[in-house]
Homo-oligomer: A and B are copies of this chain.
Amino acid sequence: MVDDRKLAVLRAIVEDYVSTNEPVGSKALVERHNLGVSSATIRNDMAVLEEQGYIAQPHTSAGRVPTDKGYRLFVDRLSQVKPLSSAERKAIETFLAGAVDIDDVVMRTVRLLAQLTRQVAVVQYPTLTNSTVRHVELVPLSERRLMFVLITNTGRVEQRVVELPDVVDETRVAHLRATLNACLDGCGLARVPDMVADLPERLPAEDRPLAATVLSVLLESLVDRHDEKIVFAGAANLAGADFTVGLRDVLEALEEQVVLMRLLGETSDLSALTVRIGSENPYTGLQGTSLVAAGYGSGDKQLARLGVLGPTRMDYPVTMGAVRAVARYVSQILAAS
């Protein structure tokens, strides 16, 4: 009986604080929620909760505010994800359905998520490592320049300009293209380096310089930077909120790809809905913010993650519901294309 009520009190505090943005006191608590006890009892419970580190008071004789630890407990045990309304589901579906290519999917997703949660949305591009080669194209641009294009089964297109050491005629390029496609078609990107390792040796000697140049660009484009691409939207939603830490730091973090990568990346289970609260964050500029993230992917493969970043004081059930729903719909879209 004892502990049960304390948990109810904590839940009530979190809910009230999230909705009012003001420290909540014992009296207001018994009025708004019908716990069957008096405010004095609540005060005792609150004292205990504070001692255990779940809540804190900004000053003596102000109400209580949840700590990060308090939010953590709330998220883990006291709340359940709130599903979206059917109108919202409908909106998601129609909005995402119009996407024409992978860039468009990502763009629409991030905007949708920002609008839905009224917070900052973050979407990581589908990783290349799980995709396979659909087609390789070599397009002569001029005598000594090629454009190299790699198309993956996820609809992603990688392109690079290749500077050639020598003038190369069209038929050699065609030959290399055919060879590359034969060698790589359907091959997982992770296996590409192995597949092409001995490729120059299997070619006539006069084709080798060309092949070597193209391959070096190909390999470089794979390892390069593209797992690291992340976009965000909804920065305007930060303007209203007040952070313990400066707004500037948050904006800086958002523009720093590396920080976002670590933020989204450092989660053990890709498929689950994960929440990172305030000081649990690795980056100091993002203390005072929480991240709600989920993995998405086509079919059974998880490709990447998406989520929203907001003030620690956020409505976790609703946000988690939105993130989960969007992740599912994006997965559907990607699986279908």
Contacts and interface: CB of A to CB of B under 8 A. Distances in A.
Interface of A: 100-101, 111, 134-135, 137, 139, 141, 147, 149, 151, 153, 155, 157, 159-161, 221, 224, 233-236, 238-240, 246-248, 251-252, 254-255, 337
Given A101-B160, A236-B252, A240-B248, A137 B139 contact: yes
Question: Which 7 A-B residue pairings sit nearest by Cβ, starting from the closest?
Answer: A239-B248, A236-B251, A236-B252, A135-B139, A239-B247, A235-B251, A157-B159
Contacts of A337: 161
Nearest to A153: B141
A173 to B, nearest CB: 12
B100 A160 contact: yes
Contacts of A236: 248, 251-252, 254-255
Given A246-B239, A248-B236, A141 B149 contact: no
12 contacts: A100-B160, A100-B224, A101-B161, A134-B147, A137-B139, A139-B151, A149-B149, A151-B159, A161-B337, A235-B235, A236-B248, A239-B246
The copy count of this chain in the complex is: 2
A235 B236 CA distance: 10
A147 B139 contact: no
Choose among A100, A137, A160, A247 the residue with the greatest number of B CB atoms under 10 Å from its CB: A100
A137 B149 contact: yes
Contacts of A155: 147, 159, 161
A79 to B, nearest CB: 29
Contact of A141 (B134, B224, B233): B134
A251 to B, nearest CB: 4
A239 B255 CA distance: 13
Contacts of A246: 239
A154 to B, nearest CB: 11
Contact of A151 (B100, B147, B234, B235): B147
B159 A101 contact: yes
